[in-house]
Amino acid sequence: MTRARLSITLPEAMWVGTVSRAYPETTITVLAAMPTGETGSGLIQVAGDMRGVRNAMGRHEGITSLAVLRANEDEALVQFDTTEPLLLFSAREAGLPIEPPVWIEDGEATLEVTAPHDRLSALGEAFEEFGLRYTVESVSDALDPEALLTDRQRRVLRRAVERGYYDTPRECTLTDLAGELGVAKSTLSEVLHRAEGRVLKRAVASPTDLATIDADIGSASGPR
């Protein structure tokens, strides 16, 4: 499986292309979306000029219904129906779901997709078919979370979390934890250190680092 981060230039004719360019300092976050026949429904969070965006959406012919579910001075939760769900149509054509959130600013949408390579290629073709220009910002292997840690590391790390070893203040010492698990304190320390290292490296890695990190998983010697 491959995970790709894509940047899509939204056509001026689309409501979201028009509105987001009219309010470039405002962020529109798509929280949920689904196609409904030849139209689409969505739930968005608007952060910025909420009133301006809401009014512009209401005036656009591509929006057929609009409801503000929650709002304050600079943020709103908006549900809408549109005749222009081109991202949804593209994803449906490629047989892929859209993974929220999708971030939209100043005519550019950013989204992440996890899929086999052939489905990603089909998505690119669908984008082109619907007139959407896109750029692949990053590509990495989508590592199964279950493969990140060994069974022993996962078991030990879970017990450490459950016992409050990572709480502040700490509710369980390394000595206590080693006694419960029936292992030497030094062995437990090394198992935790390796598990913590894998999780943290994965969390802060840039896309170019991920292949190296993934290749290292399972290759280290010592307590596992």
Domain termination residue (choose one: 141, 161, 182):
141
| Cα 23 to Cα 17, 36, 107, 117, 214, distances in angstroms | 10, 28, 9, 35, 41
Query: In a 10 Å sphere around its CB, with 0-12 CB exposed, 13-18 middle and 19+ buried, how is residue 126 labelled?
Result: buried
Do 99 and 199 lie in a common domain? no
In a domain, 221, yes or no: no
Do 131 and 53 lie in a common domain? yes
In a domain, 196, yes or no: yes
* CATH code for the domain in which residue 210 is found: 1.10.10
Are the C-beta atoms of 50 and 74 separated by less than 8 Å? yes
Whether 217 shows a pLDDT value over 80: the answer reads no
- Considering the chain, what percentage of its residues have pLDDT values greater than 90? 69
Which of 39, 22, 32, 20 lies closest to 84, judged by CA?
Answer: 39
In a domain, 66, yes or no: yes
In a domain, 224, yes or no: no
Span 187-197, pLDDT tens digits: 999 999 998 88
Whether 41 shows a pLDDT value over 80: the answer reads yes
Do 116 and 193 lie in a common domain? no
Domain termination residue (choose one: 106, 123, 141):
141
Residues 6+ apart with CB under 8 A from 137: 4, 5, 6, 7, 110
Q: Can you give the pLDDT at residue 2?
A: 84
In a domain, 222, yes or no: no
In a domain, 223, yes or no: no
pLDDT, greater one: 73 or 211: 73
**pLDDT band at residue 205 under the 50/70/90 scheme:** low
Query: Which residue range(s) make up the domain with 168?
Result: 145-216
Do 96 and 162 lie in a common domain? no
State how many domains the chain has. 2
Domain termination residue (choose one: 114, 141, 168):
141
Do 19 and 96 lie in a common domain? yes
Do 65 and 163 lie in a common domain? no
Whether 81 shows a pLDDT value over 50: the answer reads yes
Q: Can you give the pLDDT at residue 147?
A: 61
Do 75 and 50 lie in a common domain? yes
Query: In a 10 Å sphere around its CB, with 0-12 CB exposed, 13-18 middle and 19+ buried, how is residue 222 labelled?
Result: exposed
Do 36 and 63 lie in a common domain? yes
Do 27 and 79 lie in a common domain? yes
Are the C-beta atoms of 51 and 120 separated by less than 8 Å? no
Which of 145, 162, 149, 133 lies closest to 191, judged by CA?
Answer: 149
For the entire predicted model, the pTM comes to: 0.65
Do 151 and 58 lie in a common domain? no
